[in-house]
């Protein structure tokens, strides 16, 4: 199938924009690759320190066996990362069987946005991405590894690990997923109980019972939030093995896929003939494929923030106009909560990523000729893994949807576009996700209520202050202000107002969770208010128009441009739960339009 003209055009635009940065990046990783396996340059003392605790230290010191480093986000307070506790032993055994040595190079932090949602700790969330990149960089700085296995799943973890993998772009990288937890209480029922709690219809006991029934075991949360969007992305970008993203933890198939990932890592090092540096996988075509996957599946808006930062680490410069233009031509092929009733397990059973990739390839909407860890182009990712004894055998995946209420062919999509729109106007530049928003709510024009924290919005709700159509503005939530927290805890409140018949919208320089959906939300608005951005000039009662059809967002007050902006008081976000440690990050964070990065 001929590549779609817009895919081609956007890719060329990114390539041209990135020419100098990408060229310098490729030269850097080529120089590193020419030096050969790094362990060859270690002194005897260096090597002795590196292999002192290894049971097979002689192999490390005297043979050309590849040494594989594990960078792990394991902890046992996150359901998504708890399965990784067992992975190092599985990987060591598989590595030895494949003729390699294996070491845990280091760990990276993995915080849970579900635990910190609406709490002060959420203000560390975005910057944890940069900390993860730094921690992975420290792990790999020992220069002992011929390939790296990255064990990470959730919101900032995968983007942080990608930044590290790109920075060490001469080292082959394989990302190893852990899978989603089995289905529990349906996500729409959980959301209903949350709204009932917000209105006082049910008490905390009922709320706790619903939450515990939803989040009930090891693995990622089953809705299509940022964690599962990350997993989709790794498959579309060729860094997972085909079909591995949504296989449940602690199953024979999951373990066999992990073994296969180790074997693949051992096969693509600089010691053999199939050398595949991570930096060559992470080119502009891979990032375009990732954005296409984001649009086709209705993924998390957090990736609109993370992908530009990830790409910059590989010398690829993305702009939100790229997301907008790709969204215009990529149809929505999946309905997974919050964009539908199904969860990721249902999506996987209905044909999942293999079917979706196959459909997009047929439509000319993906670059097929990319480099992937599978050793094929992207056409290898329409296959489905099956157990053959204890080994993996890839078979042809589903050619037809097994449930057209969850996933559809490209000839009969749920929507003709990907449901993400760039917004521009006198309030700045941001994005809105419309795939779960009813069409009649794509344009909201109403008076603004301006708040400077989430709790004030909730208090106004409790005081019954929202009695008319309202644009709720929550400013001073950007990276320079307080680290750009998610504002997902406002979703039940705004959803209740919407269900009462009011037209409501959210406008913010902060983020919304990947689990947010049906309330129109203009997010990542940049320049942010803390740097004097336009949101700082808004006042209560200003008429604001959010138009997701034309892609505009404006304050209609005649004197808006001449007003003095409100000033930001950093005191509320400067201390407590570690926020003191991140003052330096807040001071230098980039704009949301460039990924709000610190290290890139």
Binding residues for [4Fe-4S] cluster: 154, 221
Identify whether the C-beta of residue 124 lies closer than 8 Å to the C-beta of residue 579.
Answer: yes
SS3 12: helix
Q: What is the Cα–Cα distance from 143 to 103, expressed in whole angstroms?
A: 12
Identify whether the C-beta of residue 282 lies closer than 8 Å to the C-beta of residue 314.
Answer: yes
Identify whether the C-beta of residue 207 lies closer than 8 Å to the C-beta of residue 176.
Answer: no
Cβ within 8 Å of residue 453, ≥6 positions away? 474, 476, 572
Beta bridge partners of 386: 393
CA 415 to chain CA centroid, Å, is: 22
> Annotated binding site, which residues?
154, 221
Q: What is the Cα–Cα distance from 184 to 34, expressed in whole angstroms?
A: 51
Could you count the other beta carbons within 10 Å of the beta carbon of residue 369? 10
Q: What is the Cα–Cα distance from 170 to 153, expressed in whole angstroms?
A: 23
Q: Quick one: which of 486, 453, 242 has its CA closest to 472?
A: 453
Q: What is the Cα–Cα distance from 512 to 579, expressed in whole angstroms?
A: 20
Cβ within 8 Å of residue 339, ≥6 positions away? 224, 298, 332, 419, 435, 436, 517
The DSSP annotation for 337-383 comes to TTSSSB-HHHHHHTTHHHHHHHHHHHTT-S-SS---TTSS-GGGGGE
Cβ within 8 Å of residue 464, ≥6 positions away? none
Q: Quick one: which of 76, 86, 75 has its CA closest to 108?
A: 75
Q: Is 171 exposed, middle or buried (0-12, 13-18, 19+ CB in 10 A)?
A: buried
Q: What is the Cα–Cα distance from 283 to 280, expressed in whole angstroms?
A: 6
Q: What is the Cα–Cα distance from 343 to 214, expressed in whole angstroms?
A: 11
CA 24 to chain CA centroid, Å, is: 26
Q: What is the Cα–Cα distance from 588 to 566, expressed in whole angstroms?
A: 21
Cβ within 8 Å of residue 444, ≥6 positions away? 469, 471, 503, 504, 505, 520, 545, 546
Beta bridge partners of 332: 415
Q: What is the Cα–Cα distance from 106 to 131, expressed in whole angstroms?
A: 13
Phi, psi for 395 (deg, rounded to 5): -115, 165
DSSP 415: B
Beta bridge partners of 396: 383
């Amino acid at each position: 199938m001929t590549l779609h003209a817009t895919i081609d055009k956007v890719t060329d635009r990114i390539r041209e924009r990135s020419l100098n940065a990408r060229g310098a990046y490729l030269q850097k990783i080529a120089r590193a690759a020419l030096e050969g396996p790094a362990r060859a340059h270690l002194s005897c003392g260096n090597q002795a320190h590196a292999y002192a605790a290894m049971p097979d230290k002689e192999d490390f010191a005297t043979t050309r066996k590849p040494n594989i480093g594990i960078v792990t986000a394991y902890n046992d307070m996150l359901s998504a990362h708890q399965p990784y506790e067992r992975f190092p032993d599985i990987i060591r055994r598989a590595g030895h069987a494949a003729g390699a040595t294996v070491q845990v190079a280091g760990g990276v932090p993995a915080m849970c946005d579900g635990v910190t949602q609406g709490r002060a700790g959420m203000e560390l969330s975005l910057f944890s991405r940069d900390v993860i990149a730094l921690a992975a960089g420290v792990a790999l700085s020992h220069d002992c590894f011929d390939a790296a296995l990255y064990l990470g799943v959730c919101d900032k973890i995968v983007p942080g690990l990608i930044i590290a993998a790109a920075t060490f772009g001469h080292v082959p990288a394989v990302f190893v997923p852990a899978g989603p937890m089995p289905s529990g209480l349906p996500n729409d029922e959980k959301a209903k109980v949350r709204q009932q709690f917000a209105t006082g219809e049910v008490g905390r006991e009922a709320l706790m019972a619903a939450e515990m029934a939803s989040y009930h075991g090891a693995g990622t949360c089953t809705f299509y939030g940022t964690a599962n969007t990350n997993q989709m992305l790794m498959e579309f970008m060729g860094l997972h093995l085909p079909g591995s993203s949504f296989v449940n933890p602690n199953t024979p198939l999951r373990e066999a896929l992990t073994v296969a990932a180790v074997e693949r890592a051992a096969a693509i090092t600089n010691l053999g003939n199939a050398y595949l540096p991570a930096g060559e996988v992470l080119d502009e075509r891979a990032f375009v494929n990732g954005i296409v996957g984001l649009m086709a599946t209705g993924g998390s808006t957090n990736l609109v923030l993370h992908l530009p930062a990830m790409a910059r680490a590989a010398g690829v410069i993305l702009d939100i106009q790229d997301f907008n233009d790709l969204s215009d031509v990529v149809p929505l092929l999946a309905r997974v909560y919050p964009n539908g009733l199904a969860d990721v397990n249902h999506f996987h059973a209905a044909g999942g990523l293999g079917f979706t990739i196959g459909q997009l390839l047929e439509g000319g909407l993906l670059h097929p000729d990319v480099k992937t860890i599978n050793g094929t182009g992207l056409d290898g990712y329409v296959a489905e893994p099956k157990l053959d004894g204890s080994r993996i055998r890839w078979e042809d995946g589903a050619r037809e949807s097994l449930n057209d209420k969850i996933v559809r062919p490209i000839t009969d999509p749920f929507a003709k576009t990907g449901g993400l729109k760039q917004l521009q106007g006198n309030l700045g530049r941001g994005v809105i996700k419309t795939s779960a928003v009813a069409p009649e709510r794509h344009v909201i024009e109403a008076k603004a209520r301006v708040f400077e924290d989430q709790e004030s919005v909730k208090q106004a709700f409790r005081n019954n202050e929202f009695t008319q159509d309202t644009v709720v503005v929550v400013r001073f939530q950007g990276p320079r202000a307080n680290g750009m927290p998610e504002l997902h805890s406002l979703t039940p409140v705004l959803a209740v107002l919407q269900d009462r018949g009011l037209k409501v919208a959210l406008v913010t320089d902060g983020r919304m969770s990947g689990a947010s959906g049906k309330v129109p939300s203009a997010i990542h608005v940049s320049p942010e208010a803390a740097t004097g951005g336009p949101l700082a000039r808004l006042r209560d009662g200003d008429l604001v128009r959010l138009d997701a059809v034309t892609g505009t967002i404006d304050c209609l007050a005649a004197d808006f441009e001449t007003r003095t902006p409100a000033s930001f008081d950093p005191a509320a976000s400067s201390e407590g739960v570690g926020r003191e440690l991140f003052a330096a990050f807040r001071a230098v964070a980039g704009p949301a339009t460039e990924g709000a990065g610190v290290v890139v």
